[in-house]
């Protein structure tokens, strides 16, 4: 019986090395997505109070601002009051006011509306949450660090 030629033997060794390397690469690719997904899920799992500027509506002599709020904390929010600055589309301060979001039960979305007199909605450029005048959860002194802001409309909300 003849032995395999050196060329064929070399080809078989390279093929086996390739197969081992390919197997290792596949094993790594299969194992990597789980930790990556776990990290992404961890970011979403941070309890927060979501504050969304949902809409504006021009009334006769006022602009109605509608906010959608969702308390994802484990406890109810007893009181939430924002010191709010309304800025024009040109960036000028129109006014400083307080928006009382009242209580926010845990896990339950709430809608809060505010009629701002003598304001044209199309002149409103940004809503700045300048400070949190009050934010209390049970025995916690403050929940201000849990606030996140977003806007569903062209008017930006900043915090």
What is the separation of C-alpha 135 from the centre of its chain, rounded to a whole number of angstroms? 19
Shared-domain flag, residues 138 and 63:
yes
Q: What is the mean pLDDT of residues 63-89?
A: 95
Task: Please write the tens of the pLDDT for every residue from 103-134.
Answer: 999 999 999 999 999 999 999 999 999 999 99
Is residue 108 situated within a structural domain?
yes
Task: Please write the tens of the pLDDT for every residue from 17-72.
Answer: 556 654 544 444 444 444 444 444 445 568 899 999 999 999 999 999 999 999 99
Sign of CA dihedral 8, 13, 14, 16: positive
**CA dihedral of residues 129, 142, 137, 51 (deg, nearest 10):** 20
Does residue 72 sit in helix, strand or coil? coil
Which of 112, 63, 111 lies closest to 86 in space, CA to CA? 63
Shared-domain flag, residues 153 and 76:
yes
Shared-domain flag, residues 36 and 99:
no
User: What's the confidence (pLDDT) of residue 104?
Assistant: 95
Is residue 95 situated within a structural domain?
yes
Is residue 134 situated within a structural domain?
yes
User: What's the confidence (pLDDT) of residue 30?
Assistant: 44
Q: Label residue 1 by pLDDT band (50, 70, 90).
A: low
Please provide the size of the chain in residues.
159
Is residue 1 situated within a structural domain?
no
Shared-domain flag, residues 28 and 77:
no
Q: Which residue has the higher pLDDT, 97 or 25?
A: 97
Domain of 69, CATH number, reads 2.60.40.1620
User: What's the confidence (pLDDT) of residue 143?
Assistant: 79
Shared-domain flag, residues 13 and 64:
no
* Domain, as residue range, for 144: 49-158
User: What's the confidence (pLDDT) of residue 47?
Assistant: 84
Separation of alpha carbons 94 and 66, rounded Å? 18
């Amino acid at each position: 019986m003849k032995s395999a030629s050196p060329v064929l033997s070399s080809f078989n060794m390279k093929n086996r090395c390739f197969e081992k390397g390919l197997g290792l690469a596949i094993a790594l690719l299969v194992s990597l997505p789980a930790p990556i997904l776990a990290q992404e899920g961890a970011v979403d799992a941070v309890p927060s109070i979501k504050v969304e500027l949902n809409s504006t509506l021009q009334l006769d002599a006022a602009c109605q601002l509608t906010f959608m709020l969702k308390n994802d904390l484990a406890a109810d929010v007893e009181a939430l009051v924002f010191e709010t600055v309304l800025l024009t589309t040109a960036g000028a301060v129109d006014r400083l006011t307080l928006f009382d979001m009242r209580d926010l039960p845990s896990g339950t979305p709430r809608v809060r509306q505010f009629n701002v007199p003598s304001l044209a909605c199309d002149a409103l450029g940004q809503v700045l949450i300048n400070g949190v005048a009050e934010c209390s959860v049970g025995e916690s002194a403050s929940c201000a660090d849990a606030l996140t802001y977003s806007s569903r409309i062209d008017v930006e909300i900043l915090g």
